[in-house]
Amino acid sequence: MTLTIGGPLLLVGAGKMGGALLAGWLDRGIDPDTVYIQDPAVADGVAALVRERGAHLIGNANDMSTAPRVMVLAVKPQMMDAVLPPLKEAAGKDTVVLSVAAGTTLAKIEGHLGSEIPIVRAMPNTPAAIGRGISVACGNGNVSAEHKAICDALLQAVGVVTWTDKEGDLDAVTAVSGSGPAYVFLLAECLEEAGVAAGLDRDLARQLARETVSGAGELLRQSDAPASKLRENVTSPAGTTAAALEVLMGADGLQDLLTRAVKAASERSRELSS
């Protein structure tokens, strides 16, 4: 199905996440002639994508001849105070704003662009780069069903989308899925190191860790069974897996570590939002 949003799209910020979104939209068939990109330092990969597939690189949103139907904010949170004020003039009466800037609240965006503008705040994660991300989105009171459908379609171009009515949920979302890929990569690192400590060659340990983590993740994705059931399926009574899980599931084990890690990330997200 071709991705259509009923007007021009302005992407503000073309770094890793902005570039992933752009690639997803182009893959879904959005008309590249309707896409405008504002970023003073466009990444090489994004510049190559624009040259190959089309879209417009612009220096200022006000260079657009028509107000954008959607403004997608994909800049770093610390840049928002500088980026947002000039965008107020560029927004039209039918513009909806979709922000994927972590830690930037709806209220803060409204403070720059106006309380009457429809704004959706979303938290995607880095697997969006391969179309396997997950985004959680939340809109302000001006977001209509049509606005929600447009933003949903844009986010679905890079993965699964779900919505929440509570903006405060996004702090925990950031801690679980936003930061979560780093936890999984750390697991692969640690499994590799454990293999080396057990006597394996480094290259073999790395291959085993990477394929095991990615393969188990794909099995989890394709299965309807809960993770606990899949874990039990691997575990024979009094076997090798049971011996390992006795350590991982013991006092101060993996669950305790992850609970404390997610709590720390959630608290930091709240601090950054305030």
What is the structure's pLDDT at 102?
A: 87
Higher per-residue confidence, 255 vs 273: 255
- Note the pLDDT of residue 46: 77
Q: Which two tokens stand for residue 113?
A: 């662009």
d(CA 17, CA 74): 7
CATH of region 9-177:
3.40.50.720
Instruction: Quote the tokens at residue 56.
Output: 């417009």
Q: How far apart are CA 229 and CA 157, in angstroms?
A: 31
> How many CB atoms within 10 Å of residue 2?
7
Rounded mean pLDDT of 34-50? Answer: 80
CA 167 to CA 199: how far, in whole Å? 48
Where along the chain do its domains lie?
9-177, 235-274
Label residue 1 by pLDDT band (50, 70, 90): low
**What is the radius of gyration, based on Cα positions, of the chain?**
21
pLDDT in tens, 64-122: 889 999 999 999 888 888 899 999 999 989 999 999 998 899 999 999 999 999 999 99
Single pTM value for the model: 0.91
* Model pLDDT for residues 3-40, shown as the tens digit of each residue: 889 999 999 998 889 999 999 999 999 999 999 999 86
pLDDT in tens, 109-160: 999 999 999 999 999 999 999 999 999 999 999 999 999 999 999 999 999 9
- CA 181, CA 166: separation in Å to the nearest integer? 23
Please state, in angstroms and rounded to a whole number, the distance separating the CA atoms of residues 51 and 69: 23
Q: In the numeric block, which tokens belong to residue 64?
A: 């657009």
**Tens of pLDDT along 162-211?**
999 999 999 999 999 999 999 999 999 999 999 999 999 999 999 999 99
Whole-number Å distance between alpha carbons of 7 and 67: 9
